[in-house]
Every structure is written in structure tokens, then in C-alpha cells.
Amino acid sequence: MTVVAAGATLDAFVAVRAATEGLAAPLSAEDQTVSSMPDVSPTKWHRAHTTWFFEQFLLLVASPGYEPVDERYLYLFNSYYEGAGPRHPRAERGLLTRPGCAEVADYRARVDEAVAALLARRQGDPAVDATVELGLHHEQQHQELLLMDIKHVLGTNPFRPAYAAARPARGGARPLGWLPVDGGVVEVGAPPDGPFTFDNETPVHRAWVEPFEVADRLVSAGDWLEFMADGGYEQPGLWLSDGWAAVRAEGRRAPLYWDAAPDGSGWIVHTLEGHRPVDPAEPVVHVSYHEAEAFAHWAGARLPTEVEWEVAARRWAPDPPVRPIGMHPAAGADGGWWGQVWQWTASAYLPYPGFRPAPGLVGEYNGKFMCGQHVLRGSACVTPPGHARLTYRNFFPPAARWAFSGLRLAR
């Protein structure tokens, strides 16, 4: 394997693949095996599935004579691609003890080797490079999912173990201000000839916005404590009907991962860095769309639409910093547009005008989920470095809370 010969694509491939293994490294074989709820996939499944993506969409397509590492993995590690044949039921991912972590590591190594060889043979081939690029962005998404998921697994454990060492808190609380944004016909979305984007960010299109204002910082845990103290979780009039039903059915009275301190002194939060008191200055995280919407209602404001968010971020914070992966949002002075929490928008996740799914099997990547979800913008502390951008459309169902989801107000 000649790294130099294969060039930048191989460098990126090696780096992203190694980053995944780095995220799994602190976890025991037991940790990597379990699924704690239907949305959560085991760590070793993420490691294998991202590998399958390269095997299925790159090696089996572009590498004549390639023999799959194990035919059965093509079935086991397909997530939801109907076009790629039958697949193991999602609900049973947490029942699979074999292949184990060691066999998954071996699977990764053998596919990595085959991809590296292919890149060496086909250096500069744009079709190959495009598939690898897509696979790496796909793998970065799973790096974030891996952290979301293992946070939930560890959060169901009565011991509430930490995944990583705690870092010192940064900064303090600050009052909320408002930033003005002009209205009119605007253009949003990703152009066809720019850097990599997912198909759901295209095409560039026009929209009308009225002038508006957007908050200069995220909603904080301290803001949320005020909402709670003011009976936010007890007033049905603040809530969407579905949101109130969830509050009642599940007894929700705080964000996910918040527990009342046994001594009644306040709230404790489970983080990837361990169990600790809620810091009022940090951005609130792990709230559903329903909760975000109720909070905005209570605050006399609203959530921005995704068009508004994109226009506002372009005006006030256009460049996502390339920053190291973190494990929990932290108070800071930068307004929190990037690298803290995903920000719920008022927009349902729907196709842009003129949207066409990418051709081929990967056309199933985004388009088929355009129903029943809401868009989040920005990026989170656990989003891999280099993965954030202005036109990125993240999406989750409105009741979901296990993503690193928070909010920014508009009015």
C-alpha cells in the first residue's frame, strides 16, 4: 500500500477510518455490543456498517474480482438500503454477539487494505474519489451517531460511567442579545460545483424572507431552569399537542439525561465526561423539537426557519471552525453557531424545490426520509472536525432527544 501514490483521497480515508477506531478505543467489548433503545446501534455495528458502505458501494462496484470478506456481512451490515438487498432487522442489531469486536477490527483492516489498493490503482479516478468522499462523510456522520448512541447506553447503566475524562468548564453566562437580518428574496442551498455536500442540500433556490432578528447566543441550561421553575412542563397551553402528550405519557420534566439530585439541591446531568451538576452557563442540549418549540413559546419568541438560520449564519458566523471533537457543549463567547449543539429549526424536513436524489443506490441516503422530521442546523460538540457547513441539513423526528440538540431563538 503506497500512501504517497494514492494521494489526498487516501490520506483522508486513513484519517477518517482511524478516527472511528479512536472513538471506539475507550469502550469494552461489552460496551460495544449493546443497543439500549431502538434508535441506538451498537458501537461495533457502527464500525462494521461504515466498512460495509465501502465494500458494497465501492469495492463490489469498482474493484473487479473483489471477494467480500464474508458474504453474510453484506446482509448483516446493510442499514436501510432496499436496493442493496435484504438486510438484518434493525431491531436485532443489539442481539448480535458475533462477529465480535476482534472480527470487526479484522473486517475493517481487510477492507481498508482493499480500498487503499484500489486507490493506488485508480489514483485520480473521479468516480472512485467521489464514492470514497461520500463514504467518508457517511462515516463521519456515524462517528457522531456512535457517540450519541454510546452516551445512551452508558446512560441506562445505574453506574452512569464516563466515556472520557472531564475537561475544565469554559466561560460564564451572558445576557441574550438580538442580531438583525434583512429580508427579501434570498438564495439558499448548495451549488452543484462547490465542495462536497449531500444531495439534500441542493439545488440552490430562491425563497422569500421577511426581516427578522436572531438571538446572539444559544438557549442555555440556565434559561431552561427558569422555564422549568416557571412551570414550563406543567402548562399545556405552551405545547404542541404531540409534545404535551409525550410530557404526560413519559413524565418528562427536564431535558434527557437530567436527574434531580438525590439531596434536592438541583439537577445532575449525565455526560460523556461523567455525571455532574448542570452548569447554567452551558447551552441546553438533548431537548426535543417539541420542547424547543414550547420553550420558544414561553419566551415570547419562536424558532427560526432553516432559510432564516442559513441567511443569519451566513451574515453573522459564516465559517464553521475546524475544531477537535468535544464531548459536551460548554459556555463560550462565540454565540454557539457551531460546535456546541444542533439547533432545531421551525422547518419540516422536506425536499428543496427542484431536488433530485443522487443517482444509484446512494439515492436512498437522504430523500426517502423527507417526511415527519424537523431540520436542525449548525453542528454539535461531537460533530467531527471538518464536517460542519452552512448548508448542512441535519434532521430528526420531533420527539427525539438523544441527538445533541438545542436551540437558538428568533423573532
Residues binding its own copies (CB under 8 A): 28-34, 36, 44, 72, 75-76, 80, 82-83, 88, 92, 94-98, 100-101, 153-154, 156-159, 161, 185, 205-208, 210, 236-237, 239-244, 289-290, 293, 346-348, 350-351, 353-354, 363-364, 368-372, 398
* DSSP for 292-337, written as a single string: HHHHHHHTT-BPPPHHHHHHHHHHH--S-------SS----SSTTS
* Residue 359: its H or E element: none
**Least Å from the CB of residue 301 to its own copies:** 13
Distance CA 172, CA 331 (A): 6
**Least Å from the CB of residue 228 to its own copies:** 19
| CB-nearer residue toward its own copies: 338 or 342 | 342
- How far separated are the first and last CA of the chain, in Å rounded? 56
| CB-nearer residue toward its own copies: 303 or 388 | 303
- Grouping H, G, I as helix, E, B as strand and the rest as coil, residue 208 is strand
Take residue 110 and report the three cell numbers written for it. Answer: 481487510
| CB-nearer residue toward its own copies: 53 or 239 | 239
**Least Å from the CB of residue 405 to its own copies:** 15
**Least Å from the CB of residue 328 to its own copies:** 20
| CB-nearer residue toward its own copies: 120 or 399 | 399
Q: Which amino acid is located at 221 in the chain?
A: A
| CB-nearer residue toward its own copies: 311 or 346 | 346
Q: Is 295 exposed, middle or buried (0-12, 13-18, 19+ CB in 10 A)?
A: buried
Distance CA 42, CA 49 (A): 10
The CA-based angle 225-227-233, given to 5 degrees, is 105
**Least Å from the CB of residue 365 to its own copies:** 11
- Grouping H, G, I as helix, E, B as strand and the rest as coil, residue 191 is coil
CA separation, residue 123 to residues 7, 113, 205, 219 (Å): 7, 15, 35, 47
**Least Å from the CB of residue 97 to its own copies:** 4
Q: Is 405 exposed, middle or buried (0-12, 13-18, 19+ CB in 10 A)?
A: buried
| CB-nearer residue toward its own copies: 7 or 363 | 363
| CB-nearer residue toward its own copies: 164 or 348 | 348
Distance CA 157, CA 41 (A): 16
**Least Å from the CB of residue 366 to its own copies:** 10
- Grouping H, G, I as helix, E, B as strand and the rest as coil, residue 349 is coil
| CB-nearer residue toward its own copies: 195 or 250 | 250
**Least Å from the CB of residue 188 to its own copies:** 11
